[in-house]
Amino acid sequence: MSPCRHYLQFLDLDLGEYTYLFDRTRWIKDRFKRYERYWPLQDRTLVMIFEKNSTRTRLSFEAGMQQLGGAAIFLSTRDSQLGRGEPVEDAAQVISRMSDIVMIRTFEQEILERFARNSRVPVINGLTNEYHPCQILADIFTYIEHRGSIKGRTVAWIGDSNNVCNTWLQAATVFGFNVHVSTPPGYEVEAERAGVYDDRFYESFADPMDAVRGADLVTTDVWTSMGFEAENEERLRDFQDWQVDADMMRAAAPEALFMHCLPAHRGEEVAADVIDGPHSVVWEEAENRLHTQKALLEFLVLGKQNT
C-alpha cells in the first residue's frame, strides 16, 4: 500500500543501514545515560500488538517510545477484536490510520507480512515463529560493544533451530561472520524457512562440542519456543545433550561471550554457572534491546538523522 520501510526480517536492512543504526544507538544510549532529554518522536504513537507473551520486547518498546517523547499503546489478541477473528488486513488499515508505527509479535511470518502489506506506516517484527530480528540487532550491537567488529568471527548456536537461530543465520550473511550450528537430529536448520540463500556463512555439527570449539560467541535459547508447547516433553528428552555448560565454554575461545535472548531455563538449555558466569553478557544484551530499538524507531519514522 505505502512505500514506507518495514522491519520484518533481518535482511530488510543492509550493512550500511546497520552501521548507521549502531552509530545512532551509541549516540542515543550516551545521551540517555547522561539523563539528557531527546524527544524526536514527540506526538508520535507506536501501537504494539502481542499475540504471545513478552517482558523485554514490550518493556523496551514501550519505555523506548516514551523516552523518545512519543506514546505507546498495547493491544493483545485476548482483549482486541483480533482475537475474535477480525481479518488482519482490516486491522492493519484501521490501526495504521491511528498511529505512526506498529510492532507485532505473532505466530506465522505470513500474518506479519499481510499486516505490513495493508499498513500505511512502518511495521516491526517483535518476534514470529520464523524470526526475531530486534533480538539479533541488540545481540550484534552488544558483541561489538564488548569485542569490536563481528566480521569474520564465529558464533556457535547450540540447541533448537528456531526463530532466533534463523535470524543469526540471516545476520551472518549481512555482517560476514560464521555460524556453527548444532541441533539434535530432527531439529536441523531448514534453509528456506530460515530465509537463508547463502550457505557459505554457516556449518552444521552433529556434536555441540565441535560447534563451540574456538567460537567467539556461544549462544542458545529455550528448547521449546512459544507456540510449540505441545512438544515440550519430547523436546526435553531430545535436547538433553545440547545444554551449554562449563565444558562447552572451556572449548570456546578464551575471550568468548555467552548470550541468551531470555527468558532462560537454568538446567535445561544453559547451566547456571554459564549464564551467571564470567563469559555471560545477558543483562547487557537485554538492556541493549532498549537502545537499539530506539534507534530503529527513529530511523523507521523519521529516516536518517544527522548528529
Cβ-based nearer residue to ligand NVA, 142 or 225: 225
Rounded CA separation 25/43 (Å): 21
Cβ-based nearer residue to ligand NVA, 4 or 226: 226
Q: Which of ligand CP, ligand NVA, none sits in contact with 163, Cβ below 5 to 8 A by type?
A: ligand NVA
Residue that has been written with the C-alpha cell 528448547 in this structure: 223
User: 120 an active-site residue?
Assistant: no
Show the binding pattern over residues 159-178: x = contacts ligand NVA (CB under 6 A), - = does not.
---xxx--------------
225 contributes a contact to ligand NVA by CB under 6 A: yes
Rounded CA separation 240/294 (Å): 38
User: 170 an active-site residue?
Assistant: no
Q: How crowded is the C-beta side of 60, counted as CA atoms within 13 Å?
A: 23
Residues that bind ligand CP (CB under 6 A): 54-57, 127, 135, 261-262
134 contributes a contact to ligand NVA by CB under 6 A: no
User: 134 an active-site residue?
Assistant: no
Taking a C-beta distance cutoff of 8 angstroms, is the pair 109, 9 a contact?
Answer: yes
Nearest approach, Cβ of 306 to ligand CP (angstroms)? 31
Cell numbers for 178: 560464521
Name the one range near ligand NVA by CB under 6 A: 87-95, 145-153, 221-229, 237-245: 221-229
User: 81 an active-site residue?
Assistant: no
User: 240 an active-site residue?
Assistant: no
Q: Which of ligand NVA, ligand CP, none sits in contact with 55, Cβ below 5 to 8 A by type?
A: ligand CP
The CA–CA distances, whole Å, from 16 to 21, 86, 175 equal 9, 38, 10
Footprint (CB under 6 A) of ligand NVA, residues 240-269: 261
CA 199 vs. chain centroid, Å, equals: 21
User: 289 an active-site residue?
Assistant: yes
Active-site residue, selected from the candidate residues 135, 170, 243, 293: 135
- Binding positions for ligand NVA, rule: CB under 6 A: 127, 162-164, 221-222, 225-226, 261
- What are the residue numbers of the active site? 105, 132, 135, 221, 261, 289
